[in-house]
Chains A and B, each alone.
Chain A
Amino acid sequence: MGTILKIAWRNVLRNKRRTMITGVVMMAGIGLFIMADSMLKGMDRLTIDNMVAYTESFMKIRTPEYISNLQGTPLEHGVPDPEAVMRTAMASDDRIVATAPRTRFVANVSNYEDALPVIALAIDPARDEAVFRLSEAVVEGSWLDSAAPRSIVIGSGLAAEMGLTAGDYAMVSASTVYDNVNADEYLVAGIVFSPMPEINQGGLFMTYADADALLGTDGFVSEIVVASERMPSLGDLLDASSDAAARVSAALPGLRADPLTELAKDYLAMRAMKGKASYFIIMVVLLIAAVGIVNTILMSVYARIREIGVLKAYGMPPAEIRRLFTLEGVIVGALGSAAGVALGSFLVWLMATRGISISAMVGDVDMGGLPLSGTLYGEWNPATMAFGFAFGIVVAFVSARIPAKRAARLEVTDALRFA
């Protein structure tokens, strides 16, 4: 085996050009795959982080009845005794650092010319700030203040569409708990621009005091939102959320705590699709590399027919001849894969330390409703690197076997050609 390895290795080194070409194709393929994967994971992280920071939080506690009527944003089936629920939630998992009540309702915002439907949220400004980063997203005016009644904060896109600026007044109407319409005029205290298109286009926030007056509710809370400490990776975040939600659910009979995997399930499903697309890319690139390897080894076989003849004449069995050429392909594949992992690591390192500004990259293009803005950082993913490396070698092995078999099947008399 030592001599076989020696022959294979020295032949790889001897045919530098062939080795380089195949190796570079593999390096590019695997390197780009690792980079693309890191970018996708980074996008996932950014997207989920944005969801956590602006709309979904770490988990949501609601009643099962409310969840089954989610589409109707009802003003019933709320969280009973929200203060006690929040205390219990805080106590049931160490990772939970803050909680806040929220009430979701459908409203119409009017500037007296046009009216637009929005998903409005009644919040407790101080507690909400401990869970979400909305107050940091105020680009005009100020965040809600419990001491300033009859004011709202709205999304930037909505404000632009309605021609509203901070300090203007807007009419907000909504269906009340009594199933009739109430309307009132509010000061636009602030305008938020967040990474979440849904907030920018149709977000409206008001204090519980104002919402109770408008809706005829009395402290009705449709959901409890929860904040956690920062998790090192997306996987940790999702796992922690699921784990903590299970504990909170167990501690709160009659209520359901939905983890991020549930709250972001549409996105996560879409991301699974995207993941498939990146695997498709690696397949295509490695298919090209496979053709390269088949070709490299085939050329090697034809250039060394006499050598094969000598080995066969001296009684080397076909299986070992096959092994010799397969090994040569695997070595090329391993070199290409290793270089690919190195290239991929370098690109990931660049993305992880410097980050890519999404807005600089795509401008103000609508990302199809994806909450993608800010700076994208690449994520390290050792599993992907291991996969890329192993996959490269497997591809090399499988593709080298084709010409290697041909070498093993050569007739010794054809290979030698006695004169």
Chain B
Amino acid sequence: MKRSLIMACALWAAVYAWAQAPADAPSAAAILARIDSNESFKSIEYTGRMEIRIGEEFRIKTMRVQAIGADKAMVEFTNPEDAGTRMLKLDKDLWMYFPKEQDTVRISGHLLKEGMMGSDVSYEDALESDELSSTYSATVTGEAEIGGRRAFVVELKALTPKAKFDRRVMRVDAERFVVLSEDMYARSGRLLKTMEARKVERLGGRWYPTVFVLEDKLRKNTSTTMSLGSLVLDIDLDPGLFTRAALER
């Protein structure tokens, strides 16, 4: 008796959920898979430009980024103040090379989660790709219009405590399956960060956000606009690029 009641409730809930979803929407899992095929990568190379706004002040940092997976990355800053400063990430270890001092400094792993050069973009944001399908469960909770484009509102819940964020709410382009905007939450429920894509470009067979704005929500009045130029995904990068020797070259 009890068991059949639970079954009935579950059935009703499923039907209700199906009725609420947009008629032509793909499943949430399918949406995540489509995002992954657009936005996740095995390797990446680009020239980046960060426009960091802190209150009324603006700072520009430019850099060249090369990265493989989540464990190898090399960044060289090219804006005049930081020109020649290089950063090597090998798994969770981080080194910075300062050309004026000709000195290499090892940096605490905690910094990986902090804003890069005072921006709202963390090292993880800039260097690593997200594999959504395997990390989150998702439900489509509605639709929205972002910058004149139709989008699905998808809510992601971490499947594992190791996920970068505990909960994420994404507005996903209904046609291109690129994340147009996103709110990222900590386990405590606090909003940590928001992202808003400003420009989405077609690269080969995939769509990729090349200009986006990140806001660290633990600070007020700051935002960083990141623009990616000469972007290439999934090319073969020489592993020799990611060594201490290459850092101090």
A contacting B, Cβ–Cβ less than 8 Å: yes
Chain A residues close to B by CB (< 8 Å): 71-73, 106, 108, 110, 112-115, 117, 171, 173, 175-176, 178-185, 213-214, 216
Find A182's partner among B188, B219, B220 (CB 8 Å cutoff). B188
- Interface residues in B172-193 by Cβ distance below 8 A to A read 186-188, 190, 192
Find B219's partner among A113, A185, A213 (CB 8 Å cutoff). A113
Assess the A115–B190 pair: CB atoms within 8 A. Answer: no
Given known contacts A72-B109, A175-B110, is B188 in contact with A112 (CB within 8 Å)? no
Given known contacts A175-B113, A214-B188, is B165 in contact with A183 (CB within 8 Å)? no
Q: Does B232 contact A (CB under 8 A)?
A: no
Q: In the complex, A112→B190 CA distance in Å?
A: 13
B110 contacts across to A, CB distance below 8 A: 72-73, 106, 117, 175
Assess the B220–A115 pair: CB atoms within 8 A. Answer: no
Assess the B187–A106 pair: CB atoms within 8 A. Answer: no
Give min CB distance, A268 to chain B, whole Å.
Answer: 26
Q: Which residue of B lies closest to A213 (CB)?
A: B188
Find A112's partner among B108, B165, B186, B220 (CB 8 Å cutoff). B220
What number of residue pairs across chains A and B have CB atoms under 8 A from each other?
A: 64
Assess the B187–A115 pair: CB atoms within 8 A. Answer: no
Q: Does B244 contact A (CB under 8 A)?
A: no
Q: Which residue of A lies closest to B160 (CB)?
A: A178
Q: In the complex, A102→B204 CA distance in Å?
A: 54
Write 26 A-B pairs (CB below 8 A) sorted by A numbering: A71-B108, A72-B108, A106-B108, A106-B110, A108-B114, A108-B218, A110-B219, A113-B219, A173-B186, A173-B218, A176-B187, A178-B161, A179-B162, A180-B162, A181-B186, A182-B186, A183-B186, A183-B188, A183-B190, A183-B192, A183-B218, A184-B186, A184-B188, A185-B190, A216-B161, A216-B187
Interface size classification for chain B:
20 to 34
Q: In the complex, A214→B109 CA distance in Å?
A: 18
Give min CB distance, A404 to chain B, whole Å.
Answer: 59
Q: Which residue of B lies closest to A112 (CB)?
A: B220
Residue among B92, B110, B161, B190 with most chain A CB within 10 A: B110
Q: In the complex, A108→B92 CA distance in Å?
A: 19
Assess the A178–B188 pair: CB atoms within 8 A. Answer: no
Interface string of B63-104 (1 = CB under 8 A from A): 000000000000000000000000000001000000000000
Assess the A112–B162 pair: CB atoms within 8 A. Answer: no
Give min CB distance, B163 to chain A, whole Å.
Answer: 7
Find A171's partner among B108, B113, B165, B218 (CB 8 Å cutoff). B218
